[in-house]
Chain A
Amino acid sequence: MIVTILYYLLVAFVAFLVIRNLLKSREWQEEALYVVFLIPLLLRLLRLK
């Protein structure tokens, strides 16, 4: 149970880093890739998948 919560925190932290990098990025391919990778992270955080 605690471990599961830690995993959601881990995913939240990674999502935060991805968003931070996404906002800093200056290259469209990189931005697109960040967005693609962000989708599963966010849907897991929202417990949708």
Chain B
Amino acid sequence: MTRKFVIIVLGAALAVFAGLDFYRSRHLREPVVAGPGVARVKTLGDYFSKVKGTVNDCNVYILEGAQPGGAVLVLGGTHPEEPATRLVSWILAENGILEQGRLFVVCSANRSASTVTRPSGAYPDSFSIPTTWGGQTFRMGDRWSNPLDQWPDPEVYIHYPTGQNLAYMDGRNLNRTWPGRPGGTLTEKTTHAFMELIRTEKIDFVIDLHEAELQYPVISTIVAHPKGQDLAAMASMVLSGEEFKIGVESSPEALRGLSHREIGDHSDAFTLLFEAPEPFLDATRGRTDAKLLLEGKDDFVVRAGKRGLLFETIDKNGWPIDVRVGRHTSTILTVLDLWTLDHPDRGVILKNVPRYAEVIEKGTGAFLKDPASAESKTIHYE
């Protein structure tokens, strides 16, 4: 009897401590100090009422230039396990200044997925970016929406509207549920809300930020809908010549539910999806922790590379977070420049955002703002 009691107490202690830990990381508040360029902050629910008040009612930071022009939507945190994507959207919202057009910035496209980590993935529950004012901590997320927000999974996930069969858990993958469904699951409602935003705000194109494992063939590249193919090809040429190598790929017609396919097929806009390398996601990775997440150094992944199993090179210097963030900011700036050159009346001119070399030199943290010294009305929580 005492033995049973001891076992139960031990189990209860385990459950209580872990439960508190899960609760804390799920509710960790991440401040965004809206920069001088932010004219308004809306939420996703403003575009589709069924998302209002839900966990996925994320903030939409709207940067506006004095001169009218086009409109671009940048999605960070489609997959919150890809931290560079969220950091880039932070940099845009906190620093960006627009001279022409409008820029819509989202830091937590699938907010639900940013509140959970993957069972058996051994992810850290959070990670911190060093800054001069003491560092900022972010939630580590997953690829899929939190089961607490969407449960159960279907026996097989059937994509709307094509009817393509996909893996059951991809019903919670924001990049498999485009263009969404107003009466669908939370994840489908979220993509539908973004489609409504794209239509109402007359978005010209969407930039969907990602990171990928090096063993994934689609990496260090821009994946473009046919409508955006020329822009992507030009950007790839310019960037590969001036800053770093980046490829260009066209969105395959057979793969459904992806932003680069469905947004272009279901609206006047098109999507460019950027992939940066993240060794943390590789299946051959060694010790899994925040250090690997941010430094991107891993001996096992290097060995996989030597065996020719990877689609991107890696050496002992790894792929640090600043390099990954810098690749994304430079790609965004280049794409906007090229677009504006081609469409002066629909131009979007973005300033005060660091390029690749500057992010690497000063570090990502140099571009994060201290909420303690900011005016309270400029602080928003993700």
Touch between chains A and B, by CB atoms below 8 Å:
yes
Residue positions of A touching B, CB distance < 8 A: 3-4, 7, 22-23, 25, 28, 31-32, 35-36, 38-39, 42-43, 46-49
User: Are B148 and A31 in contact (CB-based, < 8 A)?
Assistant: no
Contacts A43-B18, A49-B22 given: A35-B152 contact, CB under 8 Å?
no
Q: Please, how many angstroms separate the alpha-carbon atoms of A36 and B148 in the complex?
A: 20
* Secondary structure of the A contact surface, majority rule: helix
What is the bound-complex CA distance between A3 and B19, given in angstroms?
24
Interface positions of B (Cβ within 8 A of A):
3-4, 7-8, 10-11, 14-15, 18-19, 22-23, 116, 148, 151-152
**Cβ–Cβ contact A39 & B4, under 8 A:** no
A37 vs chain B, min Cβ distance (A): 10
Chain B binding surface SS class:
helix
Q: Which of B11, B15, B19, B152 contacts A7 (CB 8 A)?
A: B152
A sample of 22 cross-chain residue pairs with beta-carbon separation below 8 angstroms, ordered by A number, consists of A3-B152, A4-B151, A7-B152, A22-B4, A22-B8, A23-B4, A28-B4, A28-B7, A31-B3, A31-B4, A31-B7, A32-B7, A35-B8, A36-B11, A38-B11, A39-B14, A39-B15, A39-B18, A47-B148, A48-B22, A48-B23, A49-B18
> Which residue of B has the minimal Cβ distance to A48?
B19
Known contacts A4-B152, A43-B22, A46-B19; A28/B8 CB under 8 A: no
Residue on B nearest A19 in the bound complex, by CB: B8
Given A7-B151, A28-B3, A43-B18, verify A35-B23 contact (CB < 8 Å): no
* Complex CA–CA separation, A7 to B150 (angstroms): 11
> Would A35 and B11 be within 8 Å (CB), given that A4-B151, A28-B3, A49-B148 are in contact?
yes
Central interface residue in B4, B14, B23, by most chain A CB within 10 Å? B4
